[in-house]
A and B are shown apart, each in its own frame.
Chain A
Amino acid sequence: MRFLMIQKPADTQPDEKLFAEMGAFVEELTAAGVLLATGGLEPGGLLVSSHGDEITVTDGPFAEAKEAAAGFALIEVGTKEEAIELARRFRKIVGDGESTIQQVFG
């Protein structure tokens, strides 16, 4: 089962310590063989919307910043509970904030 973990932007700025801990966490997941891909995302980005034949591209940032993604991790595990356990560890490192976990189909 693959799960996409998405991290919402946090209010606080990341510091050196957080980066070091995140690095160790990513290494641990890689060593455990469960991390397929991970990365941070630029704030804002572009919004592409379609309406009928019309495609509109809008530059960010957007009002609903809380809904945006700051980073992601694609993991491969056996059960949803394993994904939750990994997300739990991740949240412990990054402090207050939110992540979502969604199963990836296909």
Chain B
Amino acid sequence: MPEVRRTIDAVWKLESARIVGGLARLVHDVGLAEELAQDALVAALEQWPTAGIPDNPGAWLTTVARRRAIDHLRRSSRTTEINTEIAYAEQPAQAQDDVLRLIFVCCHPALPRDARVALTLRLVAGLSAAEIARAFLQDEPQVVRRIAAAKQTLAEEGVGFAQPPGAALPGRLASVLEVLYLVFNEGYSATEGQDLIRADLCREALRLGRMLATLAPDEAEAHGLVALMELQASRSAARTGPSGELIPLHEQNRGRWDQLLIKRGFAAMLRARALGAPPGPYVVQAAIAVCHAQARTAADTDWARIATLYDALVRLLPTAVVRLNRAVAIGFARGPAAGLAEADALLTDPALRDYHLLPAVRGDLLSRLSRHEEARREFERAAVLTRNHAEREFLRRRAAESRRAAESRWAAESTPGAAPATLGTAAAAFLSRDDLDRATVRSYGQTLTRLRRALGDSLPVAELTPDRVATVFTTAWGSAAAKTWNRHRATVRSFAAWSSLPALAEALDRRPETAQPPPATPPELPESPAASLRERTLWRLLHESSAPVTAVLALNVEDLDLEDRRARSGDRWVTWRSGTARLLPELVAGRTSGPLFLTDRRPPPSGTADRCPHTGRARLSYERAEYLCKQATGRTLSSLRQRGNSRSRLSTR
């Protein structure tokens, strides 16, 4: 009965946050609360098609879920505790408080950012894993796994359901705001309109933001974020043209801006200001959006004020992207030359190395300075770097305009019409010589690709100066190993000789390559208190045993000799020291056989291989373990092993 199904979905979207929040207060576990709520949803799916949709569907779901939660508590703890719990949970008018706590738990700093986003959309916004997967262009199983892992982490970290204490609140709120703005931007950058669910993310983020601002009315930044999102959303209809092409802010038809959302944005801004706190990054960004919204035409825009606001924002949020936006504002407020000077200062920032908006902004400033040939190259470079189709079309259009402007100038100055050799053609010709072997072509290719991306394919070879090459080198490989630097330098020397530009590498010093002595002490095991017991044990065991990762993951509980601190894995012994010995008993936790390291997910019903006889969970895979390790420590599992003394700790039979 699809109609009942749709009604259930609708009720769930509207009620899930309150239902899950209320249950979490009862059972102190968000993951369990969601499972109980899902049980109630299943009951609804079974009963409503025949019994009819109840009078108050939300209350029906709440009652059924709560009954299940109380059953769960009765089974697992003492009666007196339960009665207190239930009495506490029955207190009225706590629903809003529950939702606020739920948001904070879903955005807990112990979780990776992706997990925070997925969990918030799942539990607070009531989206299904399939919807989240479609919106973020991911596989559904991937999202399901991420949510399960997040719940597991919360349980293992003992994240209950308490409000963050006062001192922790600003930091925790920042994490919540970051998640909401991420969701919003994910939807806002989906301009193609083919997949509406992506644009729906904007609506979800706005809904959650408005919810948050109502629940935490004293937080100026929450109102600031709402104002920012309302004002950005007000422009969404005007941002794209009839064939999906992107229209920049100053060319948009302001009559298509949504006045209702603009007014809502202004109102949110007034609420933020009324709180009187020093403005945070979202309030300042919203203030910039207000300036745009207030300008009746693009020419009316108060760029001086916007530039001042960007000065403030750079102090609060000194990121490369903010500095780039500031350069744009300065370009309008104080002229393109001033803006270009700001943008040029960012050319050596590694964070913007492949960021298409840096050449796009420079292109715009250069074209306003009538430096059309350079502008064209920047637009072309930006078009190569962007991944957004609509944006690429827009940048190509600007490049073509700059080309025409440059050509008309050439015609006026009657310069010779022969096309000069460019970096792109020269690099391609250099690499297609038939006296290079494949490894050399690949190595040379890496260097030249970097140069082409940074300087643009259309840069005339005549303008390829040693200084420009040196800037690219410093940005790309300034902090790389001497060997890497020298390899790329050798490519440039070879390319220089081939293209008769002998001086090309003269600003690049050869770096002394000292042979790396093997570390006297093994690398320290990274401290990661946020990692789960399983991860900490695995890492410590790898560190102490130096055994291959596969051998350690293959360990079974029955093979462990805790007394002698060793275990058989296949045909080798794995031994450990006190650190692992302290952790192991807790990890084994009464199990007598089966894989030592288990997945944190429940297994599918079928499949018999390699499971824990106690929990039915499967053995932890190398891929998953590696992923978690990289997420938490930035290192590979294998790098945790102490290689220097592996032989003494491993005996092969």
Contacts and interface: CB of A to CB of B under 8 A. Distances in A.
Interface in B183-222: 200, 203-204, 206-211, 214-215
Contacts of A86: 14
A34 B207 contact: yes
Nearest to B96: A31
Contacts of B482: none
B200 A78 contact: yes
A20 B96 CA distance: 19
Contacts of A92: 56
Contacts of A98: none
Nearest to B211: A33
Interface residues of A, number: 19
A106 interface: yes
B211 A78 contact: no
B13 interface: yes
Contact of B260 (A34, A37, A84): A37
Interface in B1-19: 6-7, 9-11, 13-14
A30 B215 CA distance: 10
Interface in A60-102: 74, 76-79, 81-82, 84-86, 92
A22 interface: no
B203 A76 contact: yes
A78 B204 CA distance: 9
A81 B96 CA distance: 24
Given A31-B214, A81-B7, A106-B237, A36 B264 contact: yes
From A32, A36, A84, A86, residue with most partner B Cβ within 10 Å? A32
Contact of A32 (B10, B204, B207): B207
A93 to B, nearest CB: 12
Contact of A78 (B11, B13, B210, B260): B13
Interface in A14-39: 30-34, 36-37
Nearest to A35: B210
B164 interface: no
B57 interface: yes
Nearest to B206: A33
Contact of B10 (A31, A33, A36, A84): A84
Interface string B8-41: 0111011000000000000000000000000000
Given A31-B214, A36-B260, A37-B260, A79 B10 contact: yes
A105 B317 CA distance: 38
A85 B7 CA distance: 8
Nearest to B3: A81
Given A37-B260, A78-B203, A85-B7, A32 B14 contact: yes
Contacts of B260: 36-37, 74
Nearest to B209: A33
Contacts of B203: 76, 78
Contact of A33 (B57, B200, B210): B210
Q: Is the interface of B mostly helix, strand, loop or mixed?
A: helix
Interface in B50-64: 56-57
Interface in B210-263: 210-211, 214-215, 237, 260-261
A32 B206 CA distance: 10
A79 B264 contact: no
A2 to B, nearest CB: 9
Nearest to A1: B203
Contact of B13 (A76, A82, A84): A82
Contacts of A32: 14, 207, 211
B128 to A, nearest CB: 12
Nearest to B256: A106
A33 B261 CA distance: 13
B214 A30 contact: yes
Interface in A30-55: 30-34, 36-37
Contacts of A34: 14, 207
A79 B6 contact: yes
A85 B57 contact: yes
A58 B10 CA distance: 42
Nearest to A34: B207
Nearest to B18: A32
A78 B214 CA distance: 20
Interface string B560-583: 000000000000000000000000
B157 to A, nearest CB: 29
Contact of A30 (B10, B206, B210, B237): B210
A47 B390 CA distance: 46
A101 B149 CA distance: 41
Contacts of B6: 79, 81
A85 B16 CA distance: 14
B264 A85 contact: no
A81 B203 CA distance: 16
A32 B260 CA distance: 18
Contact of A79 (B9, B57, B215, B237): B9
A81 B237 contact: no
Given A31-B96, A34-B207, A106-B237, A81 B10 contact: yes
B589 to A, nearest CB: 42
A103 B4 CA distance: 21
From A31, A32, A33, A85, residue with most partner B Cβ within 10 Å? A33
A79 B203 CA distance: 12
A5 B23 CA distance: 32
A90 to B, nearest CB: 13
Contact of B211 (A31, A77, A79, A81): A31
From B13, B200, B260, residue with most partner A Cβ within 10 Å? B13
Interface in B249-290: 260-261, 264
A43 B257 CA distance: 31
Contacts of A82: 10, 13-14
Nearest to B99: A31
Nearest to A85: B10
A31 B17 CA distance: 12
From B204, B209, B214, residue with most partner A Cβ within 10 Å? B214
A33 B208 contact: yes
A62 to B, nearest CB: 28
Given A32-B14, A82-B10, 6 more contacts: A33-B214, A34-B207, A76-B203, A81-B6, A85-B10, A106-B237
Interface of A: 30-34, 36-37, 74, 76-79, 81-82, 84-86, 92, 106
21 contacts: A31-B210, A31-B211, A32-B14, A32-B207, A32-B211, A33-B207, A34-B14, A34-B207, A36-B260, A36-B264, A76-B207, A78-B204, A79-B6, A81-B10, A82-B10, A82-B13, A84-B10, A85-B11, A86-B14, A92-B56, A106-B237
Closest 4 CB pairs of A and B: A33-B210, A81-B10, A33-B207, A31-B214
